[in-house]
Structure 1
């Protein structure tokens, strides 16, 4: 999911984001006593909610609803609120969900809106805490250092879509700070084309309580998971905004489909604009 400890490859490049992209919550330093009390409460709440994670693995009617509720509760414990806008969320069988990739928080944000199986780096299952959650969410592992296995991943995505499951992928291939971003890689879109299933782009952004863009959730550069969690949980409030964009049919070449979806995610209005914005995404603003 992130660029930590990876090797640059044509499919999974390293983002140019660094620690300089991440700005602290401006409200954090002003009231240390309140911050400490709020952080303690959030940690206790998150630990309590985490003990219920085995529920995500139980086959049951309404399992998707359980996953949505669980993810929303976990986000509230972390101090993250969600706002939703855009088109309706269609109750379709077999849809590929794509968005930009900023943080491990994305898993809970998207899981609270359109729960499904995530395409994620293979070693994520070995991470503390988050690894348990992603295993129960039936991640589709991708080995970032072995591109020869990429066709197997695409086939798995297509098989899940044909079976009527929702699959979530981050086509940038790595995390960015949320202000800068990378271009969408086309490989995962081949799974949607092979399965003949539509793609649902989501525009995901993070904000401070006052509405200003926030890079607090960004998981980039030399961040450790613990450092990133601490930054999120000590912020006064983070607002994750999800905008549901136009559903894209699996027509044309996978590169064209990737460009169309990128244009929807960026709000740039078309494939050519998406190409221009992707090229300029490396010029970051903190």
Structure 2
């Protein structure tokens, strides 16, 4: 008798719903297996703090849709990677000068990693709207596969299909890792200091470089550099973090030795972390290649 491998689209699970518990048993069909196109499910499970994760994903979508160079095209295509007990969502701004990343580790997830892999999807209006409407204690199921990402909640299900990866992002993905690999931590701010950081942002669109410094316990921006200051080109881009900074437990600030890039890492708690990296020049974007040393 020959061995036969059984494959399931997702694990069986017991879900708690308003109308009562529901046992979902995953089914297997030989006809389906014989005609399977090779699609795979990487992760399926519950978000432990769905409201906080939704805030991070909404910020990621906001970054992708942002354009700081007029001729750049608007996009909403985050890259999703599952593996090593973690989900990673990452994307660039449409002008490629801002890189954002949301990490959800095992503490943030209650589910199963069925395999490892990466897909690229388009966060359309239905997904953005669904994320905005998630309540603080609402149960949410997330599934990530090589062909789609699905968000399930009581109000309904949203499915985002795989799309082509923007060509300029391929170079940017390797490039941004080069900068992150060289970065050194310069500042560690509390939640209160993080809020003060946003309050101290110069009005309008910054035309020159600004430098982040600590004046006593308060962070502030200065147009003049000084020892220990972090160069932040296009400082107005930090307004992308306005919705997340009040939720962070701490904010860590990194920079490369040559000041060509800076990164702001928000420790959100519950196994969630958000990173925003900025190119020094708004018009330049990221280019190059290397590996990532920021954990």
Whether these two folds match at TM > 0.5 is no
With a CA cutoff of 8 Å and minimum separation of 6, indicate the structure with the bigger relative contact order.
1
Identify the structure with the greater strand proportion.
2
| TM-score, structure 2 as length reference | 0.24
| TM-score, structure 1 as length reference | 0.25
Identify the structure with the greater helix proportion.
1
